[in-house]
Amino acid sequence: MSYTTIAQLSQGLKDGTFSSRELTQDVIADIKLRDHQYNSFITLSEELALAQAEAADKRIAAGQAAAMTGVPIAHKDLFCTQGVRTTAASKILENFVPPYESTVSQLFLDTGAVSVGKTNLDEFAMGSSNENSYFGKVKNPWDTNAVPGGSSGGSAAAVAAGLVAGATGTDTGGSIRQPAAFCNLTGIKPTYGRVSRFGIVAYASSLDQAGPMTHTAEDAALMMNVMAQFDPQDSTSMQMETPDYTANLNDSLAGLKIGVPKEFFEAGLDAQVAEATMNAIKQYEAMGAEIIDISLPNLQLCIPAYYVIAPSEASSNLSRYDGVRYGYRCDDPADLMDMYCRSRAEAFGEEVKRRIMVGTYALSEGFYDAYYVKAQRIRRMIKNDFVNAFSQVDVIMGPVTPSPAFDIGSKTSDPVAMYLEDIYTLSINMAGIPALSTPAGFVNGRPVGLHIMGNYFSEAKLLNVAHQLQQVTDWHQQQPQSLQGA
């Protein structure tokens, strides 16, 4: 399958050019044929997908189709799917078949979308390269020597390779936007509380948020129309109406004020990435937007504060994996303590164990105020920087990552070097604001993303701003060389 969007598939289904069953069969055959090159899927759910496709075809025939009815998508293997194995890419959940459905995946079932399977990720969404999966590394379709980014690397690779037109991801510190940037996709992390977290395997609950990964802003809007619903089952879900995210895609950007923070262009940023980013931002001047220099003075502090808050919340969330009620249990435990300690040690990967240990330390007696509470105070300073900035500008733009996709294996020996990859994305989760990555060109054949950040609940504006760039540039339509002519 060549470059195909959700909007095109939706039209083809509506016109009767193909049925959802035919489309779904093709998609599954294509994944079986080609995914060995990328390892983007952990589990395929062929039978369920075909049953969903047949049901979708009936809805389409009855004239009851919504935009995504019959469209095949994939879910990051962090969303619990009833009856379909959900692993979080961890040995500890290798055989976990959830007895319930996450709200996000249920909303896609309700609208008649077809779920073909579950995509690979960094274990428990902890990582920036998708090298931390129990089910093997994911490779970037743009260059199979490169990482696809993480943690939603399988979703990114599956869409970039043309295996599916859209996939869900989650973003705790950049896990949608960084792989979207590395794989030439549009990926949006909505405002905290916009999309339900119910049934998503938890990493850091005050930072986690789910969103779509697609080729275009229009497709992301179509997925957001399904995903962004108030959910009484998530106590942090915001009780508000869902706008039609496609309604304002074509709004004029004349008079738009774009803030460009100087801290996003300081030491550490690859010169060619800086150039590509500024080139993309300059496209907006022709549309009548105004570019304004701004400052986010506490940006650098997002790394230390994040690497306290996220591991602390993770150590608490992951205490549920005790070998008692579900998941892996070690063989022949001597006693209860031995069962806890060995089950967890044998089945968590190294990065997960490191973060649990850091979080346990930060929350332990005598250190809580110096680490966790201190980090939460810095978190408010970071949020206040954004609140101040949005009193002057409508959106903020900058790079998503300091460099294009790096080579597989090049950063695995040094966890701290890997953490520094997230410098531009972490602060967004700390503040809880929405942000997206949209294609912005290439450096040495590897994609670069433009980071567009907005005020709370401004997702429709961000998608409008990205869509307008996609009307005057064709970066998002480029395909990996290996797929051209396929």
Residues in 100-139 that interact with other proteins by CB under 8 A:
100
User: Based on CB atoms, which residue is closest to other proteins, 28 or 358?
Assistant: 358
Q: Which of 29, 61, 247, 357 binds other proteins (CB under 8 A)?
A: 357
* 170 closest CA partner among 189, 148, 191, 196: 189
* 160 closest CA partner among 383, 369, 1: 1
Q: Which of 4, 8, 25, 360 binds other proteins (CB under 8 A)?
A: 360
Q: Which of 256, 431, 435, 440 binds other proteins (CB under 8 A)?
A: 431
Write down the residue that tokens 């396929």 correspond to: 486
32: annotated active-site residue = no
Q: Which of 15, 254, 416, 444 binds other proteins (CB under 8 A)?
A: 416
Q: For residue 354, what are the contacts with CB-CB under 8 A and spacing of at least 6?
A: 415
* 9 closest CA partner among 132, 147, 116: 116
Q: Is-contact 279 403, C-beta < 8 A?
A: no
What are 60's two structure tokens?
A: 């389409």
CA 107-87-196 angle, to 5 degrees, is: 30
Cα–Cα distance measured from residue 196 to residue 138, given in angstroms and rounded to the nearest whole number: 27
Of the residues 45, 115, 151, 427, which is catalytic? 151
State the sign of the Cα–Cα–Cα–Cα dihedral 254, 7, 472, 434. positive
- Closest approach of other proteins to the CB of residue 220, in Å: 22
User: Based on CB atoms, which residue is closest to other proteins, 423 or 469?
Assistant: 423
What are 306's two structure tokens?
A: 């994040």
Of 303-342, which residues contact other proteins (CB under 8 A)? 303-305, 307-308, 315, 319, 322-329, 333-342
Q: Does 377 bind other proteins (CB under 8 A)?
A: yes
- Closest approach of other proteins to the CB of residue 188, in Å: 16
Of 188-207, which residues contact other proteins (CB under 8 A)? 191-193, 206
- Closest approach of other proteins to the CB of residue 326, in Å: 5
151: annotated active-site residue = yes
Amino acid in position 218: E
Q: Does 232 bind other proteins (CB under 8 A)?
A: yes
312: annotated active-site residue = no
Q: Which of 13, 163, 301, 466 binds other proteins (CB under 8 A)?
A: 301
Q: Is-contact 35 43, C-beta < 8 A?
A: no
Cα–Cα distance measured from residue 349 to residue 132, given in angstroms and rounded to the nearest whole number: 7
Q: Which of 30, 55, 383, 443 binds other proteins (CB under 8 A)?
A: 383
- Closest approach of other proteins to the CB of residue 455, in Å: 12
Active site residues per annotation: 76, 151, 175
